[in-house]
């Protein structure tokens, strides 16, 4: 057997590490430094951070962002899990059609999808017009509100989460399910004792990805959100455009910290091995 070259793998990784350092790691370090820099005096301190936590306008915005993101994650995962199970274990024309259709939103550009959603759900939108045909004047009250943002987030994230969970479910053999049925296990038992242990890891991975991509979202809340409170991504845009670079950097770091919490859950879940998995 040829001796394993210990240096070669590192050499092969070198170009991507160099590139990462240049376009990701270096800007992160610079961002953190800028966040401690005071714009007026040029000195260093926590002033930019204090600004966000001593100002009701911004604390409300941060809580508002977290609320929307948490609701998005929980709802997207719940719906996607059910959808993925349905697609995996049902074999009807409807499930086959849905299996092809659910992926469609991923091919529609974000801006187009947001504008499309707006024309449907706004108070003078398609749904309102249809209701007028039947003599009602239905106002969904979803535009410029967190409900609209969450609906739009679900549109973007359900296909993604369903795809990830479906991949995990496809690893379960029909024979394993049949084996449990043979010993007269109920559907709940099949779920808790077979499906859940085999898929929970992918569910968490999907959840962390949804969390991280939504905490910094911009287009949806900018076009569909209320004037106040604002999601963090929109506030960041405003701060940057008005030359408050130190504060913008501090808010970026705050967003980064929230994402890091999600990322550490991701890493923990991935590293951890269940008892039955040891040696697998």
**Which residue from 276, 280, 269 is spatially nearest to 164, judged by alpha carbons?**
269
Phi-psi region of 202 (alpha: psi -120 to 50; beta: other; left: phi over 0): alpha
Distance CA 242, CA 261 (A): 29
| Residue closer to other proteins (CB basis): 88 or 247 | 247
Q: Which of 26, 44, 53, 57 binds other proteins (CB under 8 A)?
A: 57
What are the contacts of 190-198 at 24+ separation with CB within 8 A? 195/85, 195/169, 197/274, 198/168, 198/171, 198/172
**Could you tell me the two tokens for 74?**
């929980």
Report the b/e string of 122-138 with b at 16+ CB within 10 A.
beebebbeeeeeeeeee
- Give the interface segment with other proteins, choosing from 98-106, 177-185, 192-200, 238-246 (CB under 8 A): 238-246
3, 15, 133, 173: residue in contact with other proteins (rule CB under 8 A): 15
Q: Using CB under 8 A, which of the segments 84-92, 137-145, 176-184, 258-266 binds other proteins?
A: 137-145
The answer to the question of residue 143 lying near other proteins (CB under 8 A) is yes
Query: Is there binding between residue 226 and other proteins (CB under 8 A)?
Result: yes
The correct pick among 120, 147, 180, 269 for binding other proteins (CB under 8 A) is 147
Binding site for other proteins (CB under 8 A): 7-8, 11, 14-15, 18, 56-57, 60, 111, 122-125, 141-145, 147, 218-219, 222-223, 225-229, 238, 240-243
């Amino acid at each position: 057997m040829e001796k394993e070259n210990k240096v070669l793998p590192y050499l092969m990784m070198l170009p991507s590490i160099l590139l990462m350092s240049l376009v990701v790691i270096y800007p992160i370090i610079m961002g953190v430094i800028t966040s401690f820099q005071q714009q007026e005096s040029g000195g260093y301190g926590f002033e930019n951070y204090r600004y966000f936590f001593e100002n009701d306008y911004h604390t409300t915005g941060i809580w508002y962002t977290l609320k929307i993101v948490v609701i998005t994650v929980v709802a997207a995962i719940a719906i996607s899990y059910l959808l993925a199970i349905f697609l995996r274990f049902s074999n009807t024309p409807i499930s086959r059609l849905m299996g092809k259709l659910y992926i469609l939103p991923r091919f529609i550009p974000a801006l187009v999808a947001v504008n499309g959603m707006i024309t449907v759900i706004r108070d003078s939108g398609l749904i309102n017009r249809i209701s007028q045909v039947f003599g009602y004047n239905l106002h969904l009250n979803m535009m410029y509100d967190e409900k609209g943002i969450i609906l739009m987030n679900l549109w973007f994230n359900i296909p993604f989460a369903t795809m990830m969970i479906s991949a995990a479910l496809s690893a379960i053999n029909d024979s394993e399910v049949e084996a449990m049925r043979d010993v007269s296990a109920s559907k709940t038992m099949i779920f808790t004792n077979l499906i859940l242990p085999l898929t929970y890891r992918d569910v968490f991975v999907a959840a962390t990805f949804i969390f991280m991509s939504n905490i910094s979202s911009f287009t949806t809340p900018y076009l569909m959100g209320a004037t106040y409170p604002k999601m963090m991504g929109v506030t960041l845009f405003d701060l940057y455009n008005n030359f408050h670079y130190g504060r913008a950097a501090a808010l970026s770091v705050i967003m980064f910290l929230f994402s890091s919490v999600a990322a550490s859950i991701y890493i923990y879940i991935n590293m951890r091995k269940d008892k039955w998995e040891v040696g697998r």
